[in-house]
Structure formats: C-alpha cells, structure tokens
Amino acid sequence: MTETSTDRPFVVLDPTAGPAAAGMTAAARPDSLEGKTVGLLDISKPRGDIFLSQLQQDLESRGAVVRTYRKPTFAKPAPVDLRQEIATQCDAVIEALAD
C-alpha cells in the first residue's frame, strides 16, 4: 500500500511559482547622448559618489543632461517612487556600485 519510486508515472507537484515570466527586452539604446537626459543612481555605497561625479563630467562633456538620484540604502531595493521618477525623467540610467 505504500508509495514507492517504482510507481509509474511518477508525479510531483511543482515547487516553483510557475513558469518564469517571458523574457523582458531591454529598452532601445539611444544612438547618441547629445541632448539626452541620463540619470545617475547612487546606491549609497561608499565612494559611489566619486565614481558618479567622474561619470557626470564625462557625460556632460558629451552633451548629455545629467540628473542624479540616490537610493536611501544599498541594502534594499530602490523604492517604487524613485524607480518611477527615473523612468519618467530620463532617457538612460547608470547605477553605480562602489566600495
């Protein structure tokens, strides 16, 4: 009466949350940064600001408009509002990790 591995077909319940979501495609890449708005997201890791300020200079020298953002803590996902703000205000975003 016991269930054994020789019982066929062997059926189990799917332990996952289901098939993975269909792959997401990346947003179209801008041909040039001239006149485009680029967001720089500092995730609050030490020295991320140094890296990003260097990037800001480089981007501005190429004619991009730079806006800067900061996550409250690197240890948590960016708040939804912040993500929404970046998505609506910027053509591209660069997120910096640093230590």
Partner 1 sequence: MTIPESTGHTADGVSESTNGVIAVVKRDCPTCELVVPALTQLHAHLESQGSTLTVYTQDDPTFPSFGASPVDDTQLAFSWHNNIETVPTLLRFENGVEVDRIVGWSREQWQSFTGVADLAAELPEHRPGCGSLSVDPALTDMLAVRFNQSSLHSRRVEFASLEDEFEAMFDRGWSDGLPVIPPTEARVLHMLSGTTRDPQEIVASIPPDLNEVTVEQIAVNAVMAGAKPEYLPVILAAVEAACTDEFNMHGLLATTFFSGPIIIVNGPIAERIGMNGEGNAFGQGNRANLTIGRALQLVIRNLGGGRPGEIDMAAQGSPGKLAFCFAEREYDSPFEPLAQWRGQEPGVSSVTLFAGQGPSAIIDQLSREPVSLTKSMAASLRATNHPKLAIGFDAMLVVSPEHGRIFTEAGWDRQRLLSELEKLLTLNADEMIRGVDGIAEGLPEMLAGHSVPKFRPGGLLIAHAGGNAGLFSSVLGGWVGGGTGSEPVTVAIGS
**16 lies in the binding site for partner 1 (CB under 8 A):** yes
Take residue 99 and report the two structure tokens written for it: 């230590």
Other CB atoms within 10 A of residue 44 CB: 16
Q: Select 5 or 25, whichever has its Cβ closest to partner 1.
A: 5
Q: Should residue 76 be labelled a site residue for partner 1 when binding is judged by CB under 8 A? A: yes
Residue 37 backbone dihedrals phi, psi, to 5 degrees? -95, 125
Distance CA 58, CA 88 (A): 23
Footprint on residues 77-96 left by partner 1 (CB under 8 A)? 77
Q: Return residues touching partner 1 (CB under 8 A).
A: 1, 3, 5, 8-18, 20, 72-73, 75-77
